[in-house]
Amino acid sequence: MSLTLANRITIFRFLCVPVFTLLVLYYINSFKHGSPMYMFRYCAAFLFIFTVLLDAVDGYIARTRQQITRLGTVMDPLADKALLLSGLILLAAPSVAAFRPDLPVWFVVLVISRDVLLVLGATIIQLTVGNVVVRPRISGKLTTFFQMLIIAWVLLGFTQIGFVYIIWTAALFTLASGVQYIFDGIRQLEKA
């Protein structure tokens, strides 16, 4: 099996995650030592946004060049989750004043809990039915969009104004998409 261009871009997105994580950690560390190195923060913000845009590019390439593969359908959402979860966890430390506004811990717990529940559900379906069918939903796409918007907002240091609305919008989409995917999973189990 040869790797398609879309798959290569997805692999590159995976490789961006540890670099992004290191940039954020270096910035937090410099902030704690009293001499914030904003270069790390803005490089992390640039890399985050660049990686998010690459997600759109690899999806476009996969669709327009008929390069949709089983590997890509598994790796693409995993690359999204790796980037999102690393950003959420790193930016949700209220004791670190390096980022204002910071992400509320309740929001991070909500996102992680939803994802853990969906992975457990998919595992149960795989073991029971033998094949998990995940249909992309608009609520899932909007959830990802708003979660990524929140991380970019914090990294870029935008003001608190409007942030509360985006957090609550992301939380509602996170809940709604989670419920929708759970009902999809229940339907798959009922057909078995």
Per-residue confidence (pLDDT) for residue 163, from 0 to 100: 92
Asked if residues 91 and 99 have their Cβ atoms less than 8 Å apart, the reply is yes
Is the model's pLDDT at 95 over the cut of 70?
no
Once rounded to an integer, what is the mean pLDDT over residues 4-30?
A: 94
- The answer to whether the bond into 101 is cis (omega within 30° of 0) is yes
Q: What is the pLDDT of residues 121-137, one digit of tens each?
A: 888 888 888 887 777 78
pLDDT of residue 160: 83
Mean pLDDT in residue range 130-146: 86
- Please state, as a whole number, how many other Cβ atoms lie within 10 Å of the Cβ of residue 143: 26
23: its two tokens: 């940039």
Question: 109 pLDDT exceeds 90?
Answer: yes
Which distant-in-sequence residues (6+ apart) come within 8 Å of 173 by Cβ? Answer: 139, 142, 143, 146
| Residue, of 73 and 148, whose pLDDT is higher | 148
Higher pLDDT, 67 or 24: 24
**pLDDT interval class at 101 (50, 70, 90):** confident
Query: What pLDDT score was predicted for residue 96?
Result: 66
Q: For 39-65, how does the pLDDT look when each residue is reduced to its tens digit (9 = 90+)?
A: 999 999 999 999 999 999 998 998 898
Say what the pTM is: 0.90
Which residue, 136, 118, 145, 16, is CA-closest to 72? 136
pLDDT at 1: 57
Q: How confident is the model at residue 170 (pLDDT cuts 50, 70, 90)?
A: very high
In this predicted structure, the answer to whether residue 119 has a pLDDT above a threshold of 70 is yes
CA 95 to chain centre: 23
CB-based contacts of 104, cutoff 8 Å, min separation 6: 92, 94, 167
Judge whether residue 178 has pLDDT over 80: yes
- Those residues whose C-beta lies under 8 Å from the C-beta of residue 106, and which sit 6 or more positions away, are none
